[in-house]
Amino acid sequence: MQKEALTPKREPMSKIRRAYFGRLAARCLIFAAAVVLYIVKPEYFDVLYGNAFFSAFSPLHIVWVIWVIDMVQQLIPAKEHIPLGSQKHFRQRFQPILEKISYRAIKEHAVSTAKSAYMVMLIWGALIFVISVLYHFGVLSAPIVFLISTAFYVCDLICVLIWCPFRLIMKNRCCTTCRIFNWDHLMMFTPMLLLGSFFSSSLLLLAFVVWLVWELCTILHPERFWEKTNQALQCASCTDKLCTQYCRKLRK
């Protein structure tokens, strides 16, 4: 009985974290299915070329729709099913702190996090450059580029749920406070810039819109992105609990 009393209770997994594990499993299945299709039905990848998107149905159309829906959700304010980290730029999710923080402090924080964010962009750009060179010399084909983007689609949720290498640069506490949370789709689809088709261009255009809305909000409303000015971002207010491995460290 004493041992049971001394053993700390494990906190129940939040609804959003459970949902995200389900989404991660779904993304893994999509990636696995894409690899199988590439092996047994390579003609399905013809949709990646030019305007072939409108020529015939392919399972890749389903993936395209899923990706479009994901991005549209990032453009619409919501209080359920979507984590605060992705929605903190909206006024509806902002909870101002009563204590006054100087504009200078807010500006300094915004500049500091912007520098880290664009360091990530430079590193990501270097990776895309390598992919571009390989594609230019024929080492990579259009279907392989699609598979790379689909692998990034899986890695996106691995970063959220398990471990994120970008935290080493960003120094953010968790995904809720992450400065680049809504950069995910733009980073995912950047390799498809090489394809120049309707399939790739439409995804990239919408991903750019999501990114642009996010970046404009960081400039116009930097107070929404800092836990010292937005109470909703503080650990005490957190209901998402997506990054529980980081939360546990903070409690020690």
**What is the full per-residue pLDDT of the chain (252 aa) written as tens digits?**
444 445 445 667 888 889 999 999 999 999 999 999 999 999 999 999 999 999 999 999 999 999 999 999 999 998 777 899 999 999 999 999 988 888 899 999 999 999 999 999 999 999 999 999 999 999 999 999 999 999 999 999 999 998 899 988 998 888 899 999 999 999 999 999 999 999 999 999 999 999 999 999 999 999 999 999 999 999 888 888 887 655 555 444
User: Which among 147, 222, 213, 220 is positioned nearest to 186, based on CA atoms?
Assistant: 213
Tokens 């990501």 locate to 124
Distant-in-sequence, close-in-space partners of 57: CB < 8 Å, separation ≥ 6: none
Q: What is the pLDDT of residue 74?
A: 94
169 in any annotated domain: yes
For position 1, what pLDDT does the model report?
44
Position 4 scores a pLDDT of 47
Burial class (CB in 10 A: 0-12, 13-18, 19+), 160: buried
Residue 230 — φ and ψ, nearest 5°? -125, 105
Cα separation, 147 vs 165, whole angstroms:
21
pLDDT at 98: 80
pLDDT of res. 3: 47
233 located within any domain: yes
Please state the domain count of the chain: 1
Q: Quote the domain boundaries for residue 135.
A: 66-247
Q: Is 38 exposed, middle or buried (0-12, 13-18, 19+ CB in 10 A)?
A: middle
Any domain includes 52: no
Which pLDDT belongs to residue 11?
67
Give the pLDDT score at 251: 45
Residue 36, in any domain of the structure: no
Would you say residue 225 lies in a domain? yes
**Cα–Cα dist 119/125, whole Å:** 10
103 in any annotated domain:
yes
Q: Is residue 16 included in any domain, yes or no?
A: no
Decide if 39 is inside a domain: no
Is there a contact between 6 and 126 (Cβ–Cβ < 8 Å)? no
